[in-house]
A and B are shown apart, each in its own frame.
Chain A
Amino acid sequence: MNPAPFTYHKAANLDEAIGLLGTHGADAKVLAGGHSLLPIMKLRLVEPDHLIDLSAVEELRGIAVADGVLRIGALTTHHQLERDLLVRDHALVLAEAAGQVGDRQVRNRGTVGGALAHADAAADYPAAILALDATVVARGPAGERRIAAAEFFVDLLTTALEPDELLTAVEVPVLPGRAGGSYQKLANQASGYALVGVAVVVVLDVAGRCAEARVGVTGAVASGRRAGATEALLRGAALDETAIASAAARVGDGLDLLDDLHASAEYRRRVLVGLTRRALTSATERANA
């Protein structure tokens, strides 16, 4: 089924896109790859009067490293992210998450900015963005604003973006030498979405102990969350099998786990523990490599 009728605008640049968003505000939706938006428009769950196509906005493209920050333009597709050598070098966990979004055709069209702004509970990126302690860059009529990943995911399909703001880029701090990451996921077999997804980043100190660990959870919660209990247990620990297992066992602490027709909260907790153990083991191996 076609979406309901709308007026189509193709923004030529970022200022024009933000101007259009300012003019039409709540009556407008922004079109990037369209792989979250068009399906819900076809189901008439969303019927915007105005659609603002960003495909010609060159400022939203590109991947670059400068001053210790990896900057990824919002229009970067999942496939570009999965394959990009800068991303694989500096944020492998993000490339791994990108490679597990949907299927190949979806990855060819869908964008990192669109997926983050849509904030599906079962999306892959939130876990990786949280584990990388990334920053979301937003721009609105008042100018540019930076939002920490931990502040960005507010609730189901809800982010910290204001209605007149556009997500323009994701900035990832470049990891120090002895660091590693991993994304692990149990996908819903029909949809490919994460029933449970977990991304971890570990940073080792000179003695090889855990200087810092960040654990991002998706799928099991209404919107992306850090697993604080596990992170606290890992800090300062030697990351051997025992330490990893006991820290992973607490990953559900303090998280409000989803309980729905796809899986019970208890099932999700058990899967989350197993995937966290696997992710920590893999990340530690990579940090030591």
Chain B
Amino acid sequence: MEVPIRVEVNGEERRLAVEPRTLLVGLLREQLGLTGTHVGCETSQCGACTVLLDGEAVKSCTVLAVQSDGRAVTTIEGIAAKGTLHPIQRAFWDEHGLQCGFCTPGMILSTAALLAEEPDPDEATIRHGLDGNLCRCTGYHNIVRAVQAASTRLAAGEAAQPIGAD
């Protein structure tokens, strides 16, 4: 039996009906078409499905959609307006913090949560904070540099900018 939920997704309030066993990642990808949130391991390890739930990074493969009732979800689609890049996205681009890009949406959202709590993290704090996000391409060095660059951009008050602005 479907259960009614009310959830704010990327700033927009949605009233939805979900099967209780539907995972949050399933709601986002299949019911709402927000396929930027990736399904990787499906076992709470890889972090590709990371989204923000009331501002906290969570693995959406290990949250039921009904658990988002009354709360706010932010996915990669909601981090900056369409056609623009958030400073964290720009930093990942500039520092080559991605290769295949599969882990990137989760990395970006974990970075957003980390920088909201620790605006100027050292390298150890970044590595500890991103412990729940696996990347099989980069070896993490450029990801750490991207987070440091993002921290600098956010500290300077940079806003989202159109893709290819510089």
Q: A-side interface residues toward B, CB under 8 Å?
A: 1-8, 10, 31, 34-35, 38-39, 42, 51, 53, 55, 102-106, 108-109, 190-192
Contact B57 A4 (CB under 8 A): no
Contact A39 B62 (CB under 8 A): yes
User: Is B162 engaged at the interface, CB distance under 8 Å to the other chain?
Assistant: no
8 Å CB contact of A106 from B44, B113, B128: B44
User: Is B67 engaged at the interface, CB distance under 8 Å to the other chain?
Assistant: yes
Give A79's nearest chain B residue, CB to CB: B56
Contact B21 A109 (CB under 8 A): no
Contact A108 B20 (CB under 8 A): no
Q: B-side interface residues toward A, CB under 8 Å?
A: 1, 3, 19-23, 26, 42-45, 47, 50, 56-59, 62-64, 66-67, 69, 110, 113-114, 128-132
Contact B22 A109 (CB under 8 A): no
The distance from the CB of B33 to the nearest CB of chain A, in whole angstroms, is 18
Contact A34 B56 (CB under 8 A): no
Contact B20 A105 (CB under 8 A): no
Contact A2 B67 (CB under 8 A): no
Contact A6 B21 (CB under 8 A): yes
6 new A-B contacts at CB < 8 Å, known A2-B26, A38-B63, A190-B45: A2-B21, A3-B21, A4-B21, A103-B131, A104-B129, A104-B131
| Interfacial chain B residues near A4, Cβ < 8 Å | 21
Distance of A55 Cα from B21 Cα, bound (Å): 16
Contact A34 B67 (CB under 8 A): yes
Distance of A39 Cα from B42 Cα, bound (Å): 9
8 Å CB contact of B57 from A7, A108, A191: A108
Contact B66 A8 (CB under 8 A): yes
Distance of A106 Cα from B61 Cα, bound (Å): 11
Distance of A104 Cα from B20 Cα, bound (Å): 25
Give A104's nearest chain B residue, CB to CB: B132
Contact A109 B132 (CB under 8 A): no
Given A3-B21, A7-B20, A106-B59, is A53 in contact with B67 using a C-beta cutoff of 8 Å?
A: yes
Contact B132 A103 (CB under 8 A): yes
| Interfacial chain A residues near B64, Cβ < 8 Å | 31, 34, 38
Give A38's nearest chain B residue, CB to CB: B62
Distance of A42 Cα from B24 Cα, bound (Å): 13
Interface centre among A8, A51, A103, A109 (most CB of B within 10 A): A103
Distance of A34 Cα from B61 Cα, bound (Å): 11
| Interfacial chain B residues near A10, Cβ < 8 Å | 66, 69
The distance from the CB of B131 to the nearest CB of chain A, in whole angstroms, is 4
Given A2-B26, A34-B67, A53-B66, is A105 in contact with B110 using a C-beta cutoff of 8 Å?
A: yes
8 Å CB contact of B43 from A6, A39, A103, A192: A39
